[in-house]
Structure 1
Amino acid sequence: MSSLDPSNIERSDPATANEAFKLLSDETRLEVLCTLWEVHDPAEEVPVRFAELRERVNVDDPGRLNYHLNKLGDTFVRRTEDGYVLMDAGKRIVRMVLSGTAIDDPEIEPVAVDISCWYCGGQPEWSYREGWRYLECTNCDARCVESFPPGVISKTEFPPSGLRGRTPIEINEADRIWGAHRRASVMDSVCPECAGEMPITSVDTCADHQPDWDEYQYCENCGSIFWMLVTHVCERCKYRWRMPTLFYPSRHPAVVAFFYDHGIEFDLATYEQRMHLLGFEEELLSEDPLRIRISIRLEDEMLGLTFDERMEVVDMNRGG
């Protein structure tokens, strides 16, 4: 199978994108998209006839509705012999509206959740504001990165639509699953936002790493409590994701088997399991070529994995 040459793939024209936004700036056109979505059946695509669409959208002038349908045609709505259906681009627009991103701004006050702070073991509280899920410890002022307020042990993006119909505990669980899949996608170099190529752009190691582990405070030299950080940037939409190297061994079969042999089902299935990551030992073997060794110790046994600049395992050993 031959591979595609990226240079031959047509890039999005900014003028085309601007035209698309102009098309959607009209309230009636958005109502048409949402109406077609309401009657859309994922299992069976049934076109909506003009008369029914006019009644649902509540447009008195048929010429006016026809004008807006023509504007949406070939981009968001397809006309068939039996009526009108949403094209994939139209479905994506409605899904974005339904997700509430950049539209809704809900807030959920802090509520205690049945997990432990992976820094001090204290009681965290879950809250939601400005499109972000916060997990804050009520017992310590841990600050793993400079951009986090004191006490925030975890902060992730989560769409407002995920809040609907769920209790805070259920939202917290959904967020954990949502975040785990997005993180896995990033580690596989696929952008969780647009599915574009998302390669590693840098693996940064702090030359003078001095975090305050007694108070769980970040190193002032690099702004993180973690010594080594990996950055991925999407080549398509420029979405950026940064995370510790410690996450990369978590999905390797040898690591899962190593924990399982010691009676631990390790898959980061719970927030408590993240405390295992803090016990991983890192060593910079060489800078050129980059080689990073991450060792995991359980009881009287040790598993060591060596990673290259793409955070792929190039060597592994297990012993006492």
Structure 2
Amino acid sequence: MDSSIPSETAESTQSTGDEAFQLLSDETRLAVLQVLWESHDPANETPMRFAELRQRIGVEDPGRLNYHLNKLTGYFVRRTEDGYELRDSGKRIVRMLLSGTAIDDPEIEPVAVDISCWYCGGKPEWSYRDGWRYLECTDCDARCVDTFSPGVISKNEFPPSGLRNRTPNEINEADRIWGTHRRASVIDGVCPECASDMPVTAVDICDDHHPDWNEYQFCEGCRSLFWMLVSHVCEGCKYRWRMPTLFYPSRQPAVTAFYYEHGIEFDLATYEQRALLLDFEEELLSEDPLRIGISIPLKDEALRVTYDERMEVVDVNRRGRIH
């Protein structure tokens, strides 16, 4: 089949998406979502009667409100015998707006946080701007990719709602937990944005990888500190995530058990253990079929996890470490 011709499913998805965007372009429909959300009690979900909804919104013409409700029903609103309530899709729309993603643009100047730089051990500062959280080391100019400014050791999307009523250290911890779960979801092939399938779409391996590990500066060829990078793209919402292959062993129980046997409660989610990634050893075992080995050395042993082109584990091997 010609891949340039949209499939029936793709056309249907596009059509549904167009209709959903059009629904949200009307102020009355947005008001319906807002009022139903404000009356929503998760512990006691009670639909709202038509008359009360009309009064709360301030629409005098019942026919006009009924017209807009009919448009929303099936997408974001559910009609029951007792009245109207939000569908889960409607709740997600309101939550997105409440998260501040679409309405706020806060900025927080750099402030010290209680963690160490995983490259040099120095002290990073936390800041927030344009919807992104930044960690910048004050002691080194580490630059793992060319899209990061010198000294930026980590950069992550984080909704403004996560800033409310938290100190910088509390925000940083919340961001760590939030980001860790999202990364785990991507590794497991489920989009953290819409829950659609999010398969591996590319494994990029630099042919002549020469980063400056002494200064933690990216390779001029691939513009990354890391030799192998994996891309996932969601089949539903087109959300893209790219990360080093070195993150993938963190999802393997054998790796957690290996560390535990050596007296380490392994949790790559913590910033303090992020430096463990730098000890992992990558091998390109074969190109066709693609096989990537990632070895975790500890004392006199090493655990090697082998992945295929979809970054699925095909082998786990434990052996004495080769010196």
Do the structures match in fold with TM over 0.5?
yes
CA separation in 2, counterparts of 1:265 and 1:130? 35
AA at the equivalent of 1:319: G
Q: Which runs of 5+ in 1 are unaligned?
A: 1-6
Q: Partner letter of residue 307 of structure 1?
A: Y
Partner of 2:256: 256
Q: Which residue matches 2:69?
A: 69
**1:11–1:166 Cα change, 3 Å:** farther
In the aligned structure 2, how far is the partner of 1:280 from the partner of 1:199?
24
Deviation per CA, 1:80-125, whole angstroms, max 9, x where unpaired? Answer: 3322211233222212211222332111221111000011111001
Aligned counterpart, 1:145: 145
Residue 285 of structure 1 aligns to a residue in which SS?
A: strand
The amino acid of 2:318's aligned partner reads N
Asked if structure 2 preserves the Cα contact closer than 8 Å seen for 1:54 and 1:60, the reply is yes
| 2:4 aligned residue | none
Q: Is 1:119–1:216's contact at 8 Å kept on the other side of the alignment? A: yes
* 1:236 equivalenced with 2:236 (yes/no): yes
Does the C-alpha gap of structure 1 residues 204 and 25 become closer, same or farther in structure 2, counting only changes over 3 Å?
A: same
Tell me how far apart the structure 1 counterparts of residues 8 and 320 of structure 2 sit (CA, whole Å): 49
- What is the TM-score when the length of structure 1 is the normalising length? 0.91
Distance 1:269 1:232 in 2: 20
Query: 1:209 offset after TM fit, Å?
Result: 0.7
Correspondence 1:317 to 2:313: no
What is the CA–CA distance in structure 1 between the aligned matches of 2:292 and 2:75, rounded to whole Å?
48
Q: What is the match of residue 221 of structure 1?
A: 221
1:145 deviation in Å?
A: 0.4
Match of 1:96 in 2: 96
Give the 3 Å change call, closer, same or farther, for CA 286–10 of structure 1 in structure 2: closer
Aligned to 1:172: 172
Paired residue type of 2:102: A
Match of 1:187 in 2: 187
2:301/2:318 contact within 8 Å kept = no
Output the amino acid matched with 2:176. Answer: R
Q: Does 1:116 align with 2:116?
A: yes
- In 2 relative to 1, CA 11–165 (structure 1 residues): closer, same or farther, beyond 3 Å? farther
**2:17 aligned partner:** 17
Residue aligning to 2:80? 80
Q: Report the secondary structure of 2:115's partner residue.
A: coil
Find the aligned partners of 1:268 and 1:33 in 2 and give their Cα distance.
Answer: 40
Name the CA shift for 1:127/1:259 in 2 (closer, same or farther; >3 Å).
same
Aligned ranges 1:27-38 → 2 under 5 Å:
27-38=27-38
Letter of the structure 2 residue corresponding to residue 116 of structure 1: S
After superposition, the Cα gap between the structure-2 partners of 1:253 and 1:60, relative to the gap in structure 1 and judged at 3 Å, is same
2:51 aligned residue: 51
- Can you list the C-alpha shifts for 1:145-171, whole angstroms capped at 9, x where unaligned? 011111110011111222222222111
How many angstroms does 1:307 deviate by? Answer: 2.0
Q: Secondary structure at the match of 1:12?
A: helix
One-letter amino acid matched to 1:318: R
1:153-205 Cα offsets, whole Å, 9 max, x none, are 00111112222222221111111111111111111111111212211122121
Cα separation, 2, equivalents of 1:145 and 1:313: 27
Q: CA deviation at 1:63?
A: 4.4
Q: Percent identity at matched positions? A: 77
Q: Cα RMSD over matched residues?
A: 2.0
Say which is worse superposed, 20-29 or 136-145, in terms of deviation: 20-29
SS class of match (2:191): coil
TM-aligned CA distance change 1:16 to 1:288, over 3 Å: closer
Shift in Å, 1:10 = 7.2
Q: CA deviation at 1:62?
A: 4.0
Amino acid at match of 1:110: P
Q: 1:108 to 1:11 in 2, by over 3 A?
A: same
Moved more, 42-51 or 235-244: 42-51
Distance 1:313 1:68 in 2: 50
What amino acid maps onto 2:251 in structure 1?
A: R
- Secondary structure of the 2:12 match is coil
CA contact (8 A) 1:251 1:267 kept: no
May I ask how many residue pairs the two structures share in their alignment? Answer: 314
What TM-score do the two structures reach when normalised by structure 2?
Answer: 0.90
- Does 10-19 or 108-117 show the bigger shift? 10-19
Distance across 1 between alignment mates of 2:200 and 2:19: 33
2: CA distance, partners of 1:236 / 1:277: 31
Distance in 2 (alpha carbons) for counterparts of 1:59 and 1:268: 53
Query: What is aligned with 2:3?
Result: none
In structure 1, the residue matched to 2:154 is 154
* Counterpart Cα distance in 1 of 2:78 and 2:308: 48
In the TM superposition, residue 215 of structure 1 has moved relative to its aligned partner by: 1.3
Give CA-to-partner distance per residue, 1:10-58, whole Å, 9 cap, x none.
7534344333222222222212111101111223331112232233223
Q: Supply the distance in 1 between the matched residues of 2:13 and 2:213 (Cα, whole angstroms).
A: 49
Match of 1:4 in 2: none
Pick closer, same or farther for the CA change 1:164–1:221 going to 2, 3 Å: same
Shift, 1:224, TM fit: 0.2
